[in-house]
Amino acid sequence: LHCDIGNAAEFYRIFQLEIGEVYKNPNAAKEDRKKWHSILDKHLRQKMNLKPIMRMNGNFARKLMTKETVDAVCELVRCEERQDALKELMDLYLKMKPVWRSSCPAKECPELL
């Protein structure tokens, strides 16, 4: 569960950075980053019924780490190439999720290693 929360927090951060197109302007102001955060929160509330939270928890992480969420976030990302990359990244995460969650991946899911 802790790795799910950590991964979800990282994905949430990636979503914000993609909305703000940080790859074009890596030195964005703090106000801009807060704006991207609020844009993402508002959009996730409208599309996915995910209410903004102060600290990542397990329920939010589970809801966040779905294909539907990535599709919703991609509506906010302008560059189609970046949208495809986000979708591919989430797809890889979902495929590897059994590996993160198992206590002994070599025994429980060797086909994924």
What is the pTM assigned to this prediction?
0.88
What digits encode the pLDDT tens for the residues 66-90?
999 999 999 999 999 999 999 999 9
Nearest to 1 by CA among 65, 53, 55, 58: 58
Q: Is 66 helix (H, G, I), strand (E, B) or coil?
A: coil
* Cβ pair 13, 61 in contact under 8 A: no
For the chain, the farthest-separated pair of C-alpha atoms sits apart, in whole angstroms, at: 48
CA–CA gap between residue 6 and residue 9 (Å, rounded): 5
- The predicted pLDDT at position 99 comes to 84
Judged against a pLDDT cut of 80, whether residue 100 lies above it is answered with no
